Amino acid sequence: MDLVYYPIAMFQGYLLASFVLGLLLSAKCLVQMAFPQIRAPRWVEAIACLAAFAMAFVLSLDALGNGGGLVALAPPLLALTALGTSLILVASHLGVSLLRSRPRQLALQPVAWVAVALTLVATGWSSHRYSAGKIQAEIERFEHFSNSGDLEPVLNSVGVTDRGREVQLYRWQPEDGFGVSIPIPYQTSAEDGRANCHGWVFTGGEHLLWRDGVERILEDNGYQPCQAPRPGDLIIYRSASGEVVHTGLVKTKLFGGRMMIESKWGLGGRFVHRPAEQPYGDNFSYYRSARQGHALAIRPATLALKIASR
Chain segment 102-144, per-residue pLDDT in tens: 656 777 888 888 888 989 988 988 887 887 776 666 655 555 4
Is residue 265 within 8 Å of residue 279, measured between CB atoms? yes
Which pLDDT score, from 0 to 100, does residue 209 have? 95
Rounded CA separation 65/8 (Å):
9
More confident residue, 190 or 78: 78
CA distance 200 to 206: 7
Q: Which of left, alpha, beta for 85 (phi over 0: left; psi -120 to 50: alpha)?
A: alpha
Q: Which residues contact 231 (CB under 8 A, 6 or more apart)?
A: 250, 251, 252, 253
Per-residue pLDDT tens digits for 256-279 = 667 899 999 888 788 888 898 888
Confidence (pTM): 0.58
